[in-house]
Amino acid sequence: MSTGNNEIERFQNPGLPEHQHRNADIDPVAEKRAERQVAILFLLSAAGTILTIVSYIYVRNDKFVFIPILGSTNVQQILLGLGLTASTLFIGLGAIQWAKKLMPDQEVIAERHEFRSKEIDREEFVETLKERGSSAGLGRRSVIKRTLGLSLGLVGLSPLLFLRDSGPLPGKYFDTTDWASGVRLLKDPDGQPVLASDLEVGAVTQVLPELPAGVERTLENTGKDAVLLIRLRPEDFNLDPERLSWTYQGIIAFSKICTHMGCAVALYEQQTHHLLCPCHQSTFDVTRAAKVIFGPAARPLPQLAITVDAKGYLIAKQGFTVPVGPSFWERNSSNG
Q: Is the CA virtual torsion 308, 309, 315, 317 positive or negative?
A: negative
Nearer to other proteins, 250 or 288 (CB): 288
Nearer to other proteins, 4 or 28 (CB): 4
How near is the Cβ of 196 to other proteins at its closest, in Å?
A: 22
CA distance 88 to 46: 9
Site for other proteins in 16-75 (CB under 8 A): 16-17, 56, 61-62, 70, 74
Nearer to other proteins, 318 or 327 (CB): 327
CB 9: neighbour CB atoms within 10 A? 9
DSSP for residue 296: S
The answer to whether residue 156 forms part of the interface with other proteins (CB under 8 A) is no
Residues β-bridged to residue 71? 67
- Dihedral angle over CA of 205, 208, 214, 220, nearest 10: -130
Q: Applying CB under 8 A, which of residues 30, 47, 95, 211 lies at the interface with other proteins?
A: 95
Q: Which stretch binds other proteins (CB under 8 A): 27-35, 109-117, 179-187, 240-248?
A: 109-117
Nearer to other proteins, 150 or 267 (CB): 267
The answer to whether residue 266 forms part of the interface with other proteins (CB under 8 A) is yes
List the 283-285 sheet strands across, edge first: 267-269, 274-276, 283-285, 291-294
Nearer to other proteins, 48 or 286 (CB): 48
Contact criterion met (CB below 8 Å) for 292 and 283: yes
Q: Applying CB under 8 A, which of residues 134, 173, 236, 321 lies at the interface with other proteins?
A: 173
Distance (Å) of CA 178 to CA 173, 226, 305: 11, 10, 14
Site for other proteins in 196-235 (CB under 8 A): 206, 208, 219-220, 222-224, 226
Backbone dihedral region of 107: left (phi > 0), alpha (psi from -120 to 50 degrees) or beta? beta
The answer to whether residue 194 forms part of the interface with other proteins (CB under 8 A) is no
The answer to whether residue 91 forms part of the interface with other proteins (CB under 8 A) is yes
How near is the Cβ of 131 to other proteins at its closest, in Å?
A: 27
